[in-house]
């Protein structure tokens, strides 16, 4: 037998609706039939009690004079009611004085001795006993036995009708569920599809669509909020992996990847790419004299001025300490030198940091390649040009020429 947990949501909904509907209708039907049976028995007991009382009143004289024919006639009048199968009259000694019964109940004997006045349900019959009194003294009793066949037939009819109603109700519930269940299970299925798509493509920008504001809608909103948090965390991790936290410039890792890409692009496109190395003159002295906090402020200000000096086809990177690089694609030597001059011009203005005026300068080395270099060779060329610039008095630039 397939376990309920293994069923699909659509099937689970149908099972739950049909099961709860069946139980509800079943309990309601049983309760209604049980209550109806109880009320019918009360009504029948009341009717038989009245009949027994009437016969007892009419038979007091016949019993007192021992007139059996008249007593039997009085009892026979009860047989007008089809459900009455037996009527008995007892004398003062609790002996049967008169008896009448239907042919179908000929084998039924009058109970001996009679029971105390009242109504008794047993073995498919209702026995109603009534005392016969004369001048306030009990001289005997009357028994009226009624079959419960009519009540049983009524119960059977109710059972058949209830089963029919149950079947029709379950069919209607099933048809209605087929329509309404889509509003429940389709958003869940869509949510699963979105999760699979995100997992397949590792794209956390995908979002699920909430079509309702119920608990499922809340779950979808929570799912989207989780995706937004994951996406933000992923962006933050990317930023930490590829960007310098102090200057917000791209770091050495991104520089390495971008340099490889720039060389491959230059090799394929026959365009030239340029690499600029620069570091700050006497940065160590400033850092030692004024402290690292001032040194950090200085690096932030340098990063801003460096970016301000660059054209659109250039990208700045911080490799660490006071070392910065610039990558330019599709350039000429003239454009590289123009960029170097713009950087030096930006650094020429003094900086005001923490109430102190600082003058900064930079030495710049430039290398240019048509794509035939590798990462190591072009970086070596730019580094050689940088040291040539430092050796010629600082605050200037040199283009690597191979000499």
Which is catalytic among the residues 279, 322, 345, 373? 322
Helix (H/G/I), strand (E/B), else coil: 105: helix
Distance in angstroms (rounded) separating the CA atoms of residues 11 and 184: 12
Contact 127, 65 (CB under 8 A): no
Has 322 been annotated as catalytic?
yes
The Cα 242–Cα 253 span in angstroms is 6
Query: What distance in Å separates the CA atoms of residue 198 and residue 224, rounded to the nearest whole number?
Result: 12
Q: Evaluate whether 97 touches 68 at the Cβ level (below 8 Å).
A: yes
Cβ 339 vs Cβ 328: under 8 Å: yes
The side-by-side arrangement of strands in the sheet containing 273-280 is 314-320, 323-329, 273-280, 362-369, 397-399
| 362-369 and 397-399 strand pairing | parallel
Q: How far apart are CA 152 and CA 149, in angstroms?
A: 5
Which DSSP letter does residue 163 get?
Answer: H
Distance CA 185, CA 13 (A): 8
Cβ–Cβ under 8 Å, residues 143 and 127: yes
Tokens read off for 344: 């030096």
Separation in Å, CA 322 to CA 10, 261, 289, 330: 64, 25, 16, 27
* Active site amino acids: 322
């Amino acid at each position: 037998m397939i376990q309920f947990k293994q069923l699909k949501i659509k099937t689970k909904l149908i099972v739950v609706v049909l099961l709860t509907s069946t139980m509800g209708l079943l309990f309601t039907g049983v309760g209604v039939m049980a209550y109806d049976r109880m009320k019918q028995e009360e009504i029948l007991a009341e009717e038989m009690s009245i009949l027994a009382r009437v016969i007892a009143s009419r038979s007091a004289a016949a019993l007192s004079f021992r007139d059996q024919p008249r007593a039997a006639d009085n009892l026979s009048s009860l047989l007008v009611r089809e459900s009455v199968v037996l009527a008995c009259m007892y004398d003062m000694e609790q002996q049967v004085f008169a008896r009448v019964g239907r042919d179908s109940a000929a084998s039924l004997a009058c109970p001996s001795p009679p029971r105390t006045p009242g109504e008794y349900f047993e073995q498919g019959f209702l026995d109603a006993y009534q005392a016969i009194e004369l001048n306030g003294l009990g001289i005997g009793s009357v028994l009226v036995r009624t079959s419960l066949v009519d009540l049983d037939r009524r119960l059977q009819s109710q059972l058949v009708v209830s089963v029919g109603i149950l079947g029709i109700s379950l069919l209607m519930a099933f048809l209605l569920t087929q329509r309404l269940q889509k509003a429940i299970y389709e958003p869940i299925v869509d949510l699963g599809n979105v999760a699979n798509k995100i997992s397949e493509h590792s794209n956390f920008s995908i979002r699920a669509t909430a079509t309702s504001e119920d608990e499922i809608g809340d779950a979808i909103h929570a799912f989207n909020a989780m995706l937004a948090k994951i996406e933000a965390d992923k962006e933050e991790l990317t930023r930490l992996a590829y960007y310098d936290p102090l200057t917000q410039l791209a770091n050495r890792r991104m520089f390495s990847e971008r340099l490889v890409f720039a060389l491959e692009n230059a090799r394929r496109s026959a365009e030239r790419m340029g690499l600029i190395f620069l570091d700050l003159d006497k940065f160590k002295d400033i850092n030692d004299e004024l402290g690292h906090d001032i040194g950090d402020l200085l690096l932030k200000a340098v990063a801003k001025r460096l970016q301000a000096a660059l054209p659109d086809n250039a990208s700045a990177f911080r490799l660490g300490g006071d070392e910065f690089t610039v990558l330019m694609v599709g350039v000429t030597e003239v454009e590289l030198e123009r960029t170097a001059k713009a950087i030096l011009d930006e650094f020429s203005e003094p900086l005001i940091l923490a109430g102190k005026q600082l003058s900064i300068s930079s030495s710049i080395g430039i290398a240019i390649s048509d794509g035939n270099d590798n990462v190591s060779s072009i970086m070596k060329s730019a580094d050689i040009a940088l040291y040539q610039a430092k050796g010629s008095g600082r605050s200037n630039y040199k283009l690597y020429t191979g000499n």
